[in-house]
């Protein structure tokens, strides 16, 4: 490792913070909170400065730090960031301090803070790892803190929910581990050494076509559980509902992104051909998830469960954009990961704040909160519209890109997916109506509005929701080069070509047409030249014949 590496530091700071927290006596809650927050804020500041220092013109991995770790297996400590992971890192850096400040664990602050910091380290490590082995370590490591946070600080059925969460994800990871080892060993044929470096593995692409398909499925299994894609989603509503507010915020905001990020980073770049071939399957699951999640969300009586199901639908959009395999769709997917983290994180925070006051999440119990909590109502409205995808807010940009990106290659999937946007409006507006409209009675009438601290917590999220809705360009500028490179990689190795309209829009189509015309012209010319040559040859032959016949 040469010199100081900001990425390694970003992973280590929360770990050190957790260790320090563990050493502080249990009774000094204020010190514990301060240390925890300091570590999280430090990482947050580092992540934001990373976004500014990031070279927007480069598609390569930046700030790469490398150190050999387990030579026997060819594992190295390899971290780096590109346009795809950059904003997920920033999202993680922003959401953790907000979650720590914005919620109150009520008991055992020490354990809570320590687990949260470890969780942050796990998330950052997963997003930053360029070594498959290191990624897997962190990917699995995130389970443990989340398991303890849900199980230790959650609600009534927390033990059931936390176990379910843990076992489901572990089940998926079991497939991935075997797939990962198979990939690495099969790629190390001949003189090539064992390596877990994903850049190297993507270049080698040494797997036979059907082997690659199996290994791709093994990876997808792990990520599909994490996302979660339709048949593997059943852990999510339980985990979300039972988790404490901060747990839900991080789970929805960051942890679910590990699944979609994994699909983009590993699914597409390591197995381009298999991803192209199996895209219809994943697209179908994604679209089923969009509709199914939305329908389930509509039916929920529990406000938190409703938001949880809405996540299933939103994550379906991201997968739709990813496997549309167009630059626009993929950019939209990456952007939507960030958007979903912001808006769903904010929704969970708001629902948590309501719960703190009312001690219920039942929609039927809540009524007319607009009167008693006007500020809350405003904030809820903005966040809700962001989640629905109202133009001018962040959700719109991502969803729009996804839909146009997928429309050009996967028309009917996009068409069905669009219905999800309408359903989102249905379940969220209906929930809003039931909770906030009307005249409050009883306990609902006497609720206090958001405190200054709560407003301060929500402020950065609202700012980002509006900012990304109005001016997403700086973010897209950084995302696009890496996405384009990835799509090119899939085109090269996957024997596939995205339609020109998905790259440069109408301009691209025109260019394409011109190119085609030129090619056609050239082909015509070649054809006529060939014919001419043939004719001449025939003529020569005839002359020859005539001469020999004459003899």
Partner 1 sequence: MNGLPMNGLPMNGLLVAQAGQPEGLAPLELPNVEYSAMAPHLILIGGALVLLVWVAMVRRRPPWAWAAFTVAVGLASLGASWLMWLDVGRNGPRTAVADAVVVDGYSIFFMVLVSVIVVLGALMGESFLKREDIRGPEFYVLMLLSSSGAMFMASANDLVITFLGLEILSIALYVLAGLDNRRMESREAAIKYFVLGAFSSAVFLYGVALVYGATGSTNLGEIVGYLQSSVAPANGVLLAGVALLLVGFGFKVAAVPFHTWTPDVYQGAPSPVTGFMAAGAKAAGFAGLLRVFFATFDTLKLDWQPIVWVLAVATLLVGSVLAIVQEDIKRVLAYSSISHAGFVLIGLQAANEKGLAGSLYYLLTYAFMVLGSFTVVTLVGRKGDARHDLDAYRGLSARRPALALAFTVLLLAQAGIPFTTGFLAKFYVISAAVEGRSYSLALIGMLSSVVAAFFYLRITVLMYMSTDEEEAEEARTEPLAIPRSMAVVLAVSVAFTVAFGLLPAPVIDFARDATLLI
Among 29, 48, 58, 69, binds partner 1 (CB under 8 A): 69
Which among 98-106, 138-146, 452-460, 504-512 is the span making contact with partner 1, rule CB under 8 A?
A: 138-146
What backbone phi and psi angles, to 5 degrees, belong to 137? -55, -50
* Residue 237 binds partner 1, judged by CB under 8 A: no
Token representation of residue 356: 């703190």
* Residue 71 binds partner 1, judged by CB under 8 A: yes
CB of 118 to partner 1, least distance (A): 10
CB of 220 to partner 1, least distance (A): 15
Q: State yes or no: cis peptide before 228, omega within 30 of 0.
A: yes
The smaller minimum CB distance to partner 1, of residues 175 and 261, is found at 175
* Residue 138 binds partner 1, judged by CB under 8 A: yes
* Residue 66 binds partner 1, judged by CB under 8 A: no
Bridge partners (DSSP) of residue 78 are 66
**CA dist., res. 209 & res. 398, Å (int):** 33
**CA dist., res. 377 & res. 432, Å (int):** 9
* Residue 70 binds partner 1, judged by CB under 8 A: yes
CB of 177 to partner 1, least distance (A): 6
Which among 174-182, 245-253, 286-294, 424-432 is the span making contact with partner 1, rule CB under 8 A?
A: 174-182
The smaller minimum CB distance to partner 1, of residues 31 and 163, is found at 163
Which among 143-151, 244-252, 354-362, 511-519 is the span making contact with partner 1, rule CB under 8 A?
A: 143-151
Among 61, 63, 175, 385, binds partner 1 (CB under 8 A): 175
* Residue 209 binds partner 1, judged by CB under 8 A: no
**CA dist., res. 504 & res. 411, Å (int):** 18
The smaller minimum CB distance to partner 1, of residues 158 and 357, is found at 158
Residues touching partner 1: how many (CB under 8 A)? 32
The smaller minimum CB distance to partner 1, of residues 118 and 286, is found at 118
Among 48, 51, 64, 141, binds partner 1 (CB under 8 A): 141
* Residue 317 binds partner 1, judged by CB under 8 A: no
The smaller minimum CB distance to partner 1, of residues 193 and 550, is found at 193
* Cα separations in angstroms, 452 against 358, 375, 376, 456: 19, 11, 12, 6
Among 63, 127, 136, 292, binds partner 1 (CB under 8 A): 136
Q: Of 309, 156, 323, give the one whose Cα is nearest residue 244.
A: 156
CB of 229 to partner 1, least distance (A): 19
Bridge partners (DSSP) of residue 354 are none
The answer to whether 405 touches 476, Cβ cutoff 8 Å, is no
* Residue 170 binds partner 1, judged by CB under 8 A: yes
Token representation of residue 424: 């989102």
* Cα separations in angstroms, 173 against 5, 337, 529: 29, 21, 60
The smaller minimum CB distance to partner 1, of residues 79 and 373, is found at 79
The answer to whether 177 touches 217, Cβ cutoff 8 Å, is no
Among 166, 223, 292, 407, binds partner 1 (CB under 8 A): 166
The smaller minimum CB distance to partner 1, of residues 25 and 549, is found at 25
Bridge partners (DSSP) of residue 65 are 79
The smaller minimum CB distance to partner 1, of residues 108 and 449, is found at 108
The answer to whether 88 touches 82, Cβ cutoff 8 Å, is no
CB of 218 to partner 1, least distance (A): 8
* Residue 235 binds partner 1, judged by CB under 8 A: no
CA contacts within 13 A on the Cβ side of 160: 8
Which among 38-46, 48-56, 181-189, 201-209 is the span making contact with partner 1, rule CB under 8 A?
A: 181-189
Bridge partners (DSSP) of residue 529 are none
**CA dist., res. 339 & res. 330, Å (int):** 14
DSSP string, 486-542: HHHHHHHHHT----THHHHHHHHHHHHHHHHHHHHHHHHHHHHHHHHHHHHHHHHHH
Among 48, 181, 295, 509, binds partner 1 (CB under 8 A): 181
Which among 152-160, 231-239, 342-350, 462-470 is the span making contact with partner 1, rule CB under 8 A?
A: 152-160
* Residue 144 binds partner 1, judged by CB under 8 A: yes
* Residue 151 binds partner 1, judged by CB under 8 A: yes
The smaller minimum CB distance to partner 1, of residues 225 and 276, is found at 225
Among 19, 53, 159, 192, binds partner 1 (CB under 8 A): 159
Which among 182-190, 329-337, 399-407, 537-545 is the span making contact with partner 1, rule CB under 8 A?
A: 182-190
CB of 73 to partner 1, least distance (A): 7
The answer to whether 301 touches 241, Cβ cutoff 8 Å, is no
Q: Of 451, 314, 462, 452, give the one whose Cα is nearest residue 378.
A: 462
The answer to whether 149 touches 107, Cβ cutoff 8 Å, is no
The smaller minimum CB distance to partner 1, of residues 185 and 463, is found at 185
The smaller minimum CB distance to partner 1, of residues 216 and 407, is found at 216
Q: Of 493, 333, 489, give the one whose Cα is nearest residue 405.
A: 333
* Residue 140 binds partner 1, judged by CB under 8 A: yes
- For 286-289, the CB contacts below 8 A with 24+ separation are 286/229, 286/230, 286/316, 286/317, 286/319, 286/320, 286/323, 286/413, 286/417, 287/316, 287/320, 287/413, 287/416, 287/417, 288/230, 288/316, 289/229, 289/230, 289/233, 289/313, 289/315, 289/316, 289/319
The smaller minimum CB distance to partner 1, of residues 160 and 496, is found at 160
Binding site for partner 1 (CB under 8 A): 69-73, 136-138, 140-141, 143-144, 147-148, 151-152, 158-159, 162-163, 166-167, 170-171, 174-175, 177-178, 181-182, 184-185
């Amino acid at each position: 490792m040469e010199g100081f590496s900001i990425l390694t530091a970003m992973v280590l700071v929360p770990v050190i913070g957790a260790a320090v927290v563990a050493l502080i006596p249990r009774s000094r809650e204020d010190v514990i909170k301060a240390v925890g927050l300091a570590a999280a804020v430090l990482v947050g500041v580092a992540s934001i400065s990373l976004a500014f220092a990031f070279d927007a013109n480069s598609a390569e991995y930046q700030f790469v730090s490398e150190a050999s770790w387990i030579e026997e297996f060819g594992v190295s400590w390899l971290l780096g960031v590109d346009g795809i992971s950059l904003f997920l890192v920033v999202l993680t850096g922003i959401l953790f301090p907000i979650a720590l400040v914005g919620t109150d664990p009520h008991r055992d602050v020490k354990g809570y803070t320590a687990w949260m910091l470890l969780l942050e380290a796990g998330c950052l490590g997963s997003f930053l790892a360029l070594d498959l082995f290191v990624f897997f370590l962190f990917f699995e490591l995130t389970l443990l803190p989340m398991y303890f946070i849900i199980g230790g600080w959650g609600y009534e059925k927390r033990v059931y929910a936390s176990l379910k969460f843990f076992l489901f994800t572990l089940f998926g990871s079991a497939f991935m581990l075997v797939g990962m080892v198979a990939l690495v060993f099969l790629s190390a044929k001949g003189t090539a050494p064992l390596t877990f470096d994903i850049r190297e593995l993507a270049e080698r692409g040494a797997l036979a076509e059907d082997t690659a398909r199996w290994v791709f499925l093994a990876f997808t299994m792990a990520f599909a559980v994490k996302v979660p894609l339709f048949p593997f989603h059943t852990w999510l509503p339980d985990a979300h509902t039972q988790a404490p507010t901060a747990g839900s915020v991080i789970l929805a905001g960051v942890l679910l992104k590990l699944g979609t990020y994994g699909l983009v980073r590993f699914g597409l770049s390591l197995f381009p051909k298999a991803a192209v071939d199996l895209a219809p399957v994943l697209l179908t699951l994604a679209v089923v998830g969009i509709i199914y999640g939305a329908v389930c969300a509509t039916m929920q009586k529990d406000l938190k469960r409703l938001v949880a199901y809405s996540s299933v639908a939103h994550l379906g959009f991201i997968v739709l954009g990813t496997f549309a395999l167009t630059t626009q769709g993929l950019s939209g997917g990456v952007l939507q990961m960030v958007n979903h983290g912001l808006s769903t994180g904010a929704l969970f925070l708001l629902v948590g704040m309501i719960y703190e006051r009312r001690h219920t999440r039942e929609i039927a119990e809540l009524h007319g909160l607009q009167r008693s909590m006007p500020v809350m109502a405003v904030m809820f409205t903005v966040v809700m519209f962001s989640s629905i995808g109202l133009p001018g807010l962040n959700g719109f940009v991502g969803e729009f890109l996804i839909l146009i990106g997928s429309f050009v290659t996967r028309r009917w999937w996009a068409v069905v997916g669009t219905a999800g946007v309408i359903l989102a409006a249905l379940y969220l507006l209906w929930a809003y109506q039931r909770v906030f409209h009307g005249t409050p009675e009883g306990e609902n009438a006497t609720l206090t509005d958001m405190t200054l601290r709560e407003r301060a917590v929500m402020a950065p999220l609202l700012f980002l929701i509006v900012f990304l809705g109005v001016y997403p360009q700086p973010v897209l500028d950084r995302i696009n080069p890496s996405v384009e490179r990835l799509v090119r990689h899939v085109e090269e190795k996957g024997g596939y070509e995205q339609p020109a309209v998905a790259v440069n829009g109408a301009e691209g189509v025109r260019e394409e047409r011109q190119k085609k015309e030129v090619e056609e012209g050239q082909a015509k010319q070649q054809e006529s030249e060939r014919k001419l040559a043939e004719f001449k040859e025939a003529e020569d032959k005839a002359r020859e014949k005539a001469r020999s016949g004459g003899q």
